[in-house]
């Protein structure tokens, strides 16, 4: 669906990372964790294209007027990396946005009896929060969060409040273990039960490392990819990744926007 | 007041209104059905088709630039067999005319593909993309050489009886020369412009942003160039023109019609807003009503100068 939205809050939660809450139609509650929205930052032609953001959280609040019932909201967590996100970060309460979504295929929770191993890097933690919120109802959830430094590791307290057991690693050791999150993850993965599932979101090299570990320990793994995209609906073919059967003579390109952003790690070509 | 007439005729294809979708920005139509009533459109032009499936270029394939975007998708498409098996059944469900955009890597491939498409009853017309290199002849781009363009359009003309539109490249010294060559070869309509070749650079990495280095610029940034080319070509050819280039609104579309276009194609705008082609079509009708214009055809080439 396509809808007009009003900014409710837009707060810098860590240097250059913002958490934005905005109004959404009630149907937004049907979003699957891992799905994303395409946000048009302003109605002008610069920036021209929408920006994709994973759904960080959803909920409802009581409106200040009586008889209006509860209003749905949507939250995104974003990092200021370029023109579009810089403009987004200057928006205030009551500013307007045009949103397309929820889009794409989300995470499949799998057997609730199995433990859920969430792996997130930097802003890749965003869609994992809504996922964790859904998963903790029925399953044990562990989160492995990584970043370059403590400022990249976001909203850990929120995850802990959900009852998620968290493990953190940073490149410079300013929070948690020093080193790669995938090293911390592997220690725990080796001890995981037979029904465990890995659900990961972050930069491509991290996802690749996670996918290889999943293969090594034979644990099912879903990864959520990031990509530059223009349309979000499978038309521009700008966001493609190589599928497992890809070769130059038999192309197997998958659209991150439509076939993903969440893929079974075995469906992608990682080399 | 009676409703204004919006219908136009392009090479014998009856369009309920002049708004078409541009090839490569609208998939095979089905992608947009959740966001837009396809019956609001004048015609649907499908993604550039080749004989064999085409992998396309490595990524990054797109980059945003001020007021526009560069793309180097590399004509990724499913190929004729999958098009017939997987895409045509959906297109059969819409009454809006479907125009197939095609391209070849060799002269022969253009002819062969046009022949295959000729046999598909659901296809109302063919749009030929001549902005491709001829791999058999040192990579010379068909669309930048009048003789090569004449040959390829002549061959397609002999290979099909369907209405024939040729899409012109703006990356030429004189678009009028190319337009004339295509009409002489049997084009019944011309669509213009395809994307303008450009590039974008990442200063910190000291690298081009696109994996293909160069790409095609589209979006509002190219509209003035497109308007100028439509206006130039309209003065010298008699066939209907389809204006393309940065059309984001009904106003933009009507400007192209004043410059000499009979219809328009909406491209990059589909990416920003999947319902935009429909919004533009209804916006044109509203403008005609508000300005007391009974028939869109009164505006074609009606630019005062």
C-alpha span between B259 and B305 (Å, rounded): 11
Determine the distance in angstroms separating the CA of A269 from the nearest CA of chain B, rounded to an integer. Answer: 14
Task: Determine, for residues A253 and B248 on separate chains, whether the beta-carbon distance falls below 8 Å.
Answer: no
> CA-to-CA distance for B71 and A53, rounded, in angstroms?
22
Q: What is the pLDDT of residue A164?
A: 96
Instruction: List C-alpha distances in Å: A183 to A69, A246, B7, B303.
Output: 48, 29, 65, 68
Q: Is the bond leading into B193 cis (omega within 30 degrees of zero)?
A: yes
Tokens of B249: 């609104």
Tokens representing B119? 């046999």
pTM: 0.93
Helix (H), strand (E), coil (C) string for chain B: CCCCECCEEECCEEECCCEEECCCCCCCCHHHCCCCCHHHCCEEEEEEECCCCECCCCCCCEEEECCEEEECCCCCECHHHHHHHHHHHHHCCCCCCEEEEECCCCHHHHHHHHHHHHCCCCEEEEEEECCCEEHHHCCEEHHHCHHHHHHHHHHHHHHCCCCEEEECCCCCCCHHHHHHHHHHCCCCEEEECCCEEEECEECCCCEECCCCCEEEEECHHHHHHHHHHHHHHHCCCCCCEEEECCCCCHHHHHHHHHHCCCEEEECCHHHHCCCHHHHHHHHHHHHHHHCCCCEHHHHCCCCCC
Phi, then psi, of A3 in degrees rounded to 5: -145, 155
- Residues of B belonging to the active site: 132
In the stretch 23-82 of chain A, residues with CB closer than 8 A to chain B read 40, 45-50
Interface check for B61 against chain A (CB to CB < 8 A): the answer is: yes
Q: CB count, 10 Å around CB of A101?
A: 22
pLDDT band for position A65 (cuts 50, 70, 90): confident
Which residue among A46, A50, A237 places its CB closest to the CB of B76? A237
pLDDT tier for residue A166 given thresholds of 50, 70 and 90:
very high
* Residue of A204, A231, A246 to mutate, interface with B, max B Cβ within 10 Å: A231
User: What whole-number distance in Å separates Cα of residue B304 and Cα of residue B169?
Assistant: 27
Q: How confident is the model at residue A225 (pLDDT cuts 50, 70, 90)?
A: very high
Output the pLDDT for position A155: 87
Q: From chain B, pick out residues whose CB is under 8 angstroms from the CB of A30.
A: none
The backbone torsions φ and ψ at residue B89, rounded to the nearest 5 degrees and listed phi first, read -55, -40
Question: Are A98 and B220 a contacting pair at CB < 8 A?
Answer: no
Best of B204, B271, B275, B277 to mutate (most A CBs within 10 Å, chain A): B271
Residues of A with CB below 8 A from B272's CB? 40, 48-50
A35 DSSP assignment: -
Q: Is A234 on the interface with B (CB under 8 A)?
A: yes
- What pLDDT, on a 0 to 100 scale, did the predictor assign at position B139? 66
A16-39 confidence digits (pLDDT tens): 999 999 999 999 999 999 999 999
pLDDT tens-digit map of B216-251: 999 999 999 999 999 999 999 999 999 999 999 999
Judged by DSSP in three states, A24 sits in strand
The tokens describing A91, both together, are: 């928006």
Nearest C-alpha neighbor of A89 from the set A76, A98, A101, A103: A76
Fill in the DSSP letter of residue A45.
Answer: S
Instruction: Give the whole-angstrom CA distance, residue A72 versus residue B208.
Output: 43
Residue A155 CA, distance from chain mean position: 13
Structure confidence at residue A178 (pLDDT): 93
Instruction: Tell whether the model's pLDDT for residue B18 goes beyond 90.
Output: yes
Q: Cβ–Cβ of A48/B32 closer than 8 Å?
A: no
Which among B34, B53, B71 has the least Cβ separation from residue A238? B71
From B272, which residue of chain A is nearest by alpha-carbon distance? A49
How near does any CA of chain B get to the CA of A120, in Å? 23
For residue A235, which residues of chain B lie inside 8 Å, CB to CB? Answer: 25-27, 31-32, 270-271, 274
Give the pLDDT confidence score for residue A69 in this predicted structure. 82
Reading across the β-sheet that carries B196-199, which strands appear in turn? Answer: B62-65, B68-71, B214-218, B196-199
Looking at the complex, report in whole angstroms how far the Cα of residue B222 sits from the nearest Cα belonging to chain A: 12
Q: Is the pLDDT of residue B138 over 90?
A: no
Structure tokens at B216: 């095609």
Which of A44, A97, A228, A236 has the highest number of chain B CBs within 10 A, making it the mutation to test binding with B? A236
Give, as one character, the DSSP assignment of residue A268. Answer: B
| Contact yes or no for A45 and B248 at CB 8 A | yes
Domains and CATH numbers, chain B: 8-57+76-198+218-299 (3.20.20.70)
- What local confidence, expressed as pLDDT, does residue A268 receive? 97
The helix-helix angle for B250-259 and B276-290 (nearest 10°) equals 70
Q: How far apart are CA A148 and CA A137, in angstroms?
A: 31
Whether A163 has a pLDDT exceeding 90, the answer reads yes
Alpha helices, H only, chain A: 83-89, 126-135, 156-161, 181-189, 204-217
Question: Would you state the pLDDT for residue B1?
Answer: 64
Contact A230/B at CB under 8 A: yes
Q: Please, are residues A93 and A8 in contact by the beta-carbon 8 Å criterion?
A: yes
Closest CA to B257 of B277, B236, B230: B230
Nearest to B73 among A237, A246, A251 (CB): A237
Cβ atoms B96, B122 nearer than 8 A:
no
DSSP 8-class letter at A27 = G
First to last CA, chain B: 31
CA B212 to chain centre: 22
Rounded to 5 degrees, φ, ψ at B287 are -65, -45
Q: What is the pLDDT of residue A193?
A: 82
């Amino acid at each position: 669906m396509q809808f007009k939205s009003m900014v409710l809050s837009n707060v810098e939660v860590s240097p250059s990372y913002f958490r934005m809450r905005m109004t959404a139609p009630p149907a937004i509650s049907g979003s699957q964790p891992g799905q994303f929205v395409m946000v048009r930052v302003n109605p002008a032609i610069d920036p021209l294209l929408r920006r994709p953001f994973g759904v960080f959280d959803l909920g409802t609040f009581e409106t200040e007027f009586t008889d209006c019932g509860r209003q749905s909201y949507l939250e995104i967590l974003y990092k200021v990396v370029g023109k579009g996100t810089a403009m987004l970060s200057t928006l205030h309460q009551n500013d307007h946005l045009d949103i397309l979504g929820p889009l794409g295929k989300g995470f499949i929770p799998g057997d609730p009896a199995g433990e859920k191993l969430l792996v997130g890097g930097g802003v890749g933690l965003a869609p994992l929060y809504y996922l964790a919120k859904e998963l903790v109802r029925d399953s044990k959830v562990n989160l492995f969060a990584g970043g370059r430094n403590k400022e990249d590791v976001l909203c850990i307290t929120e995850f802990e409040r959900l009852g998620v057991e968290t493990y953190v690693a940073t490149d410079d050791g300013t929070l948690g273990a020093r080193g790669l999150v995938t090293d911390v993850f592997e220690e725990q993965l080796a001890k995981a039960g037979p029904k465990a599932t890995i659900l990961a979101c972050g930069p491509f090299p991290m996802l690749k490392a996670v996918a290889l570990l999943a293969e090594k320990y034979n644990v099912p793994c879903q990864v959520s990819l990031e990509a530059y995209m223009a349309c979000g609906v499978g038309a521009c073919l700008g966001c493609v990744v190589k599928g497992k059967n890809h070769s130059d003579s038999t192309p197997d390109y998958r659209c991150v926007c439509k076939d993903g952003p969440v893929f079974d790690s075995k469906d992608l070509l990682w080399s | 007041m009676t409703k204004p007439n919006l219908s136009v005729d392009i090479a014998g294809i009856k369009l309920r209104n002049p708004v078409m979708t541009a090839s490569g920005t609208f998939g095979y139509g089905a992608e947009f059905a959740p966001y837009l009533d396809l019956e609001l459109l004048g015609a649907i032009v499908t993604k550039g088709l080749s004989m064999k499936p085409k992998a396309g270029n490595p990524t990054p394939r797109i980059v945003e630039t001020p007021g526009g975007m560069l793309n180097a998708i590399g004509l990724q498409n499913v190929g004729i067999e999958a098009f017939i098996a997987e895409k045509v059944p959906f297109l059969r469900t819409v009454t809006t005319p479907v125009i197939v955009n095609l391209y070849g890597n060799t002269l022969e491939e253009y002819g062969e593909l046009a022949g295959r498409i000729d046999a598909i009853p659901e296809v109302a017309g063919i749009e030929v993309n001549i902005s491709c290199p001829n791999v058999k002849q040192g990579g010379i781009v068909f669309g930048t050489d009048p003789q090569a363009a004449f040959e390829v359009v002549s061959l397609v003309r002999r290979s099909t009886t369907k209405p024939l539109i040729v899409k012109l490249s703006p990356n030429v010294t004189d678009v009028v020369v190319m337009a004339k060559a295509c009409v002489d070869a049997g084009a019944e309509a011309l669509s213009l412009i395809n994307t303008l070749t450009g590039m974008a650079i990442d200063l910190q990495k000291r690298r081009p942003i696109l994996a293909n280095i160069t790409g095609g610029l589209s979006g509002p940034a190219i509209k003035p160039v497109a308007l100028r080319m439509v206006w130039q070509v309209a003065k010298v050819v008699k066939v209907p023109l389809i204006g393309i280039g940065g059309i984001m609104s009904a106003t933009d579309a009507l400007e192209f019609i004043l410059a000499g276009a009979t219809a328009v194609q909406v491209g990059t705008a589909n990416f920003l807003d999947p319902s935009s082609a429909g919004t533009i079509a209804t916006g044109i009708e509203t403008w005609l009503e508000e300005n007391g214009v009974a028939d869109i055809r009164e505006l074609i080439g009606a630019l005062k100068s």
